[in-house]
Chains A and B, each alone.
Chain A
Amino acid sequence: MILSVLYAATSADISHPHIFRTYSTRGSSLNPTIVEAICATISVPPQFAPVNIGERLVQRKFVGGPLGANNPTRELIREAGMAFGSDRRVAQIMSIGCGVPPIVSLDTENGEAGMDRLMRNTAADCQLVARELDARLFNIEAYRRFNVERGMKNMELDNWDILGDIETHTRSYIETNTVTKALDISLGYLRSKIGTTTLGRLSMITITN
């Protein structure tokens, strides 16, 4: 069974991720069209206008990039626990980043165009979550994060179409010994579908303080 979710935020509270599901859960009422849901997750202000979802009187405005959920791994673990039950075993959670971002300092932020700053902040937000999860899940084989370490720092938003460079950096990352090995192990878990850790244990490790 495949369950898909998309995350957006209401423009009234950008720090709280709202989940659009392809399945029913108790209490979830908004059921947007696929077009509305995809547009909402991508519509990061100020580049895009918010997306109105819902009947006229209860309509809400949604924007993309909910703070703290740009990397929604914790939300995923919680959601999977609700959908499948906390005893369900997990074969593999594969988290894929879009390149390790540079360290954000006040100096580098000055003089950057709004969108480039936004992109860096989003990447930094993802990395913050990834680092915390790495610390908490370092000995849990059910979780593995892959993120290109070198070369992606200097990408600007309007470089998105220089795919050759991105591919080069990605290839040299994947071809390092440790990453090649980790990928093989990770794919092995995905293929065998044998879980070593329950959703309940994962959520206990990642969510409690």
Chain B
Amino acid sequence: MLGHLRMNVNQAIDSLLDVASAVFTKDSLEGSNPEVNSKKLKEAIEDMLQARGIPLSTRMNDPNRLETQCKV
């Protein structure tokens, strides 16, 4: 989050809480269904990228995101 998605600390904390709130609900902790949990997780991560303006098809090692490798 800090490195590749270029968030600052507060953005990273907020995003983590958003993902956790979406995925770890009372329902998912009791009598859970892995397929449903995985779907919720994927949607939460997609929301996080979209909020950062990063296309969902972006790969981990993506030449179009070269600027992220030269931050320091």
Contacts and interface: CB of A to CB of B under 8 A. Distances in A.
A42 B29 contact: no
A51 B38 contact: yes
Contact of B72 (A1, A6, A37, A42): A1
Given A3-B69, A48-B34, A49-B34, A22 B60 contact: yes
B34 A20 contact: no
Contacts of B28: 47
A39 B41 contact: yes
A33 B58 contact: yes
A1 B69 contact: yes
Contacts of B59: 31-34
Contacts of A34: 4-5, 49, 54, 58-60
Interface in A144-159: 157-158
A124 interface: no
A39 B71 contact: no
Contact of B61 (A23, A43, A49): A23
B3 interface: yes
Interface string B23-60: 01010110010110110011001100100001011111
A164 interface: no
B4 A4 contact: yes
A46 B3 contact: no
A35 B54 CA distance: 11
B60 A47 contact: no
A1 B26 CA distance: 41
Contacts of B71: 1-2
A133 interface: no
A6 B5 CA distance: 13
A35 B61 contact: no
Given A4-B3, A23-B61, A31-B60, 4 more contacts: A6-B60, A31-B61, A49-B37, A115-B29
